Structure 1
Amino acid sequence: MTIEAALPQPFNSAHFVDPHRAYARLREEGPVHQVALPDGTPIWLVLREADVRAWLTDDRLSVNKAKSGNGYKGFSLPPALDANLLNIDPADHLRLRRLVSKTFTPRRVEALRDGVQAAADGLADVLARCMETNGAADLVSQFANPLPLVVIGDLLGVPEQDRKPFSDWVTTMFDPQGREDMANAVDSIHHYLVELIEQRRHEPDDRLLSALIAVRDEGDTLTEDELVSLAFLILFAGSESTQHVISGGLLTLLEHPRQLGALREYPALLPDAVEEILRYAHPNQMAIRRFPTEDIVIGGTRIPAGDTVMLCPASAHRDPQRYPEPDRFDIHRTDKSHLALGYGVHYCLGAPLARLEIQTALGTLLRRFPKLSLGVPADQLRWRPSFRSHVVKELPITAG
């Protein structure tokens, strides 16, 4: 029996439906565990909030896959998409972050507000027609998925006719039927971004991608691969997580009718409700994998240099040592601090835009559909079979 085969394998079908039960059991047994991923790869899983928060900012944990010493494969990207902020360590990370910050400004985000609301209103019209005709609609495919792509497409200057194909590629990349499907999706995204950048070079506009191209072409320290990778990261990070926070957030509200009722009565609580959704129901289970550059000790456990470490914000957000009654969803919770949007140098540059989209989406749904309800029992919902994210595949809703 190999070492990998002897390791606990918590990421099973039950985990995909309710990951927090496994996290609670593991936290009680200890703060750090060596477990196997579904493909047998050994990782160190870090579960308690204090450890996760501290090590998110410790330079001894590298995000550079070249520092892996145990053959970690993970999510494979071509070099032209891999040079993004998620995969590089502080020196280059800070350089790229400063360049993006020059163009991805609060003013640019705020200028999107009316467009976000218009997109949400248009998609709510689609939901209303579908529910009127069919009795139910799928929030995921008809509202939550397209909304962030409309917004990011507007931010970057992606032609409207290209947004549906890109959405399909992103969906396939994260929920493929096979490795060939994933490779084809990544290849399609890569080629599309290269062509879009070239198009924007010849036909610049006032959008973010043109601004990044100007940074590159004016001789600032941004390589062509880094430019393509940044465009990929903005499209991917600006759509994938936000889509699932919207659908998971609505599901959470529908499963907690008293909290939903309080929010309907006092709509000013929406920003607080979104922060609690980000803590309680954020879809991303793990921070990006990290590799110790030297032997380290986390929670009393020695981890050798080069091993794969997974910091688990989803577990941290339910840690009773950090949050009173952590399994209780409470939009009145006074402690708004969480790790859902990153921490330290890897804090999400798009956090203001994500919050704007989520608040607008949920506010629009609650305003337009005062009797909104689930179209199927909650235990019949289907979940993506992934240890990285807790994502509902469809969310049937009715207007009550």
Structure 2
Amino acid sequence: MERVIDLGESGQDFVSDPHTVYARLRELGPVHRVRLPTVDQPHETWLVVGYEEARAALADPRLAKDTTKVGFRFLDEELIGKHLLLADPPQHTRLRGLITRAFTMRRVEELRPRIQQITDELLDEMLPRGSADLIDALAYPLPITVICELLGVPEMDRTQFRKLSTEAVAPTSIDAENDAFVALRDYLTELIEDKRSAGPGGDLLSDLIRTTTEDGDRLSARELRGMAFLLLIAGHETTVNLIGNAVLSLLTHPGQLAALRADMSLLDGAVEETLRYEGPVKNATYRYAAEPLEIAGVTIAEGEAVMIGLTAAQRDGARYADPDRFDIRRDTRGHLAFGHGVHYCLGAPLARMEGRIAIGSLLERAPGLALAGPPGAWLPGMLMRGVRSLPVRW
């Protein structure tokens, strides 16, 4: 009988420092049966913590994302609609093909001047104050403004949206999570209907409504809502944490910060090392064994859940020498922060661009940047890795 490791035994220590727990697990082997510390009844899953095993598992077609194959649906599919993270080929191929017709690299690159402008405006507002919570002042408002403008989401109650979004990815209770999904469903339904009746617009959501392949295929109403949900939530939550984690890592590693200030050509390296060292996503969303299989000699039965540890894999010493050292000159090629295989993150180029512009502009305009106190609590749950607040001064 496989021993089950209770990840909740460490309590809050596991939330603030999962790396220590994952290091112990990697010493015991690359795959483990674990009990997750979740807001509902604790449940068990297989957890992959080794780098090579994680990379292979991310691209293994035997590990399905479509939960209907194993007899249930997650809240987002039940209440909102099918999206890329809940689909397998050929359905996934179809959905991704439809969205990439509208969400092109050219479209992302054209956002660069606007991202710089938004960043400059946020810094203009922040810097005269002398100190701020960097999450509230820059890391959150930048990506939420960018993704809302890209999708054509009108100026909304950003405070309320932030609460709903965070609850969806880092739930505090079952009821609050359900309420958040219901509110997001209702909002997106109304938004899409408004855009349909308004006619052609220049935003991504309007384009997705109209996008049709040569053979007449297009997104259904539920698929549109699911894609809008994924783009809106994933399009900002991860980037908030990328910016926050990068600044926190730099400020707690003064030698690396000094090296970057002395040579800003290292900025790309700083962003990539943050993605490896303290990436914004702890674990890939669940996969399910569509058939019996083995990972590193461990037998996974058909229908069992598998969680692939991105945070765990990226501190694997077999892949990255001295993995717990933050080193902006490191060769980070092959990191898994954006996944691997057919589910590789569609928004990776946009996230990288926002991260580089935000961090580069901040360091350029705030030469005395320093921590003004301890960071806020790390986000709960098994999905996102980031702090709720980051007090800084300059």
What's the CA shift string for 1:364-396, capped at 9, x where partnerless?
111111111111146xx4222223222211111
Residue 151 in structure 1 maps to residue 146 in structure 2: yes
The code of the aligned residue for 1:27 comes to R
Partner of 2:119: 120
Partner of 1:103: 102
TM-score scaled by structure 1? 0.92
Compared CA separation, residues 176 and 126, structure 1 to 2 (3 A): farther
Partner of 1:56: 58
TM-score scaled by structure 2? 0.93
Confirm or deny: 8 A CA contact 2:250 2:256 kept in the other structure. Answer: yes
Partner of 2:288: 291
Please give the secondary structure, in 2, of the residue aligned with 1:336.
coil
- Residue 335 of structure 1: how far off its partner (Å): 3.7
What's the CA shift string for 1:98-120, capped at 9, x where partnerless?
11110001111111111111111
- Residue 125 of structure 1: how far off its partner (Å): 2.2
User: After the TM superposition, which of the residue ranges 171-180 and 56-65 deviates more from structure 2?
Assistant: 171-180
> RMSD in angstroms over aligned alpha carbons?
2.0
Provide the rounded CA distance (Å) in 2 between the counterparts of 1:340 and 1:52: 11
Q: Percent identity?
A: 44
User: After the TM superposition, which of the residue ranges 137-146 and 45-54 deviates more from structure 2?
Assistant: 137-146
Confirm or deny: 8 A CA contact 1:156 1:209 kept in the other structure. Answer: yes
Provide the rounded CA distance (Å) in 2 between the counterparts of 1:13 and 1:163: 29
Provide the rounded CA distance (Å) in 2 between the counterparts of 1:163 and 1:157: 14
Provide the rounded CA distance (Å) in 1 between the counterparts of 2:170 and 2:128: 28
Residues matched between the structures, number: 387
What are structure 1's unaligned runs of at least 5 residues? none
Residue 365 in structure 1 maps to residue 362 in structure 2: yes
Compared CA separation, residues 188 and 36, structure 1 to 2 (3 A): same
Partner of 1:259: 256
The code of the aligned residue for 1:105 comes to T
Provide the rounded CA distance (Å) in 2 between the counterparts of 1:109 and 1:201: 24
- Residue 48 of structure 1: how far off its partner (Å): 0.5
Equivalent positions of 1:196-215 (< 5 A) are 196-203=191-198, 204-215=200-211
Provide the rounded CA distance (Å) in 2 between the counterparts of 1:388 and 1:233: 14
- Residue 83 of structure 1: how far off its partner (Å): 0.2
Partner of 1:387: 382
Partner of 1:66: 68
Partner of 1:174: 169
Confirm or deny: 8 A CA contact 1:80 1:226 kept in the other structure. Answer: no
Provide the rounded CA distance (Å) in 2 between the counterparts of 1:367 and 1:319: 33
Partner of 2:239: 242
Confirm or deny: 8 A CA contact 1:68 1:308 kept in the other structure. Answer: no
What are structure 2's unaligned runs of at least 5 residues? none
The code of the aligned residue for 1:186 comes to F
Equivalent positions of 1:1-400 (< 5 A) are 7-11=4-8, 12-38=11-37, 39-68=41-70, 76-79=75-78, 81-131=80-130, 136-203=131-198, 204-215=200-211, 219-377=216-374, 381-399=376-394
Please give the secondary structure, in 1, of the residue aligned with 2:307.
strand
What's the CA shift string for 1:47-76, capped at 9, x where partnerless?
11111001111111001112347x8x8x52
Provide the rounded CA distance (Å) in 2 between the counterparts of 1:119 and 1:210: 23
Provide the rounded CA distance (Å) in 2 between the counterparts of 1:100 and 1:216: 10
Please give the secondary structure, in 1, of the residue aligned with 2:377.
coil
User: After the TM superposition, which of the residue ranges 182-191 and 361-370 deviates more from structure 2?
Assistant: 182-191
Provide the rounded CA distance (Å) in 1 between the counterparts of 2:218 and 2:152: 23
- Residue 7 of structure 1: how far off its partner (Å): 2.8
Provide the rounded CA distance (Å) in 2 between the counterparts of 1:63 and 1:335: 27
Provide the rounded CA distance (Å) in 1 between the counterparts of 2:148 and 2:245: 22
- Residue 216 of structure 1: how far off its partner (Å): 5.7
Please give the secondary structure, in 2, of the residue aligned with 1:291.
strand
Confirm or deny: 8 A CA contact 2:119 2:142 kept in the other structure. Answer: yes
- Residue 294 of structure 1: how far off its partner (Å): 1.3
- Residue 303 of structure 1: how far off its partner (Å): 1.1
Please give the secondary structure, in 2, of the residue aligned with 1:239.
helix
The code of the aligned residue for 2:56 comes to A
The code of the aligned residue for 2:385 comes to H
Compared CA separation, residues 393 and 163, structure 1 to 2 (3 A): closer
Please give the secondary structure, in 2, of the residue aligned with 1:8.
strand
Please give the secondary structure, in 1, of the residue aligned with 2:32.
strand
The code of the aligned residue for 2:201 comes to D
Please give the secondary structure, in 2, of the residue aligned with 1:86.
helix
Compared CA separation, residues 276 and 177, structure 1 to 2 (3 A): closer
Confirm or deny: 8 A CA contact 1:173 1:182 kept in the other structure. Answer: yes
Compared CA separation, residues 82 and 225, structure 1 to 2 (3 A): closer
Please give the secondary structure, in 1, of the residue aligned with 2:101.
helix
The code of the aligned residue for 1:389 comes to M
Please give the secondary structure, in 1, of the residue aligned with 2:85.
coil
Provide the rounded CA distance (Å) in 2 between the counterparts of 1:163 and 1:382: 21
Provide the rounded CA distance (Å) in 2 between the counterparts of 1:142 and 1:273: 21
- Residue 176 of structure 1: how far off its partner (Å): 4.3
The code of the aligned residue for 1:32 comes to V
Provide the rounded CA distance (Å) in 1 between the counterparts of 2:17 and 2:241: 16
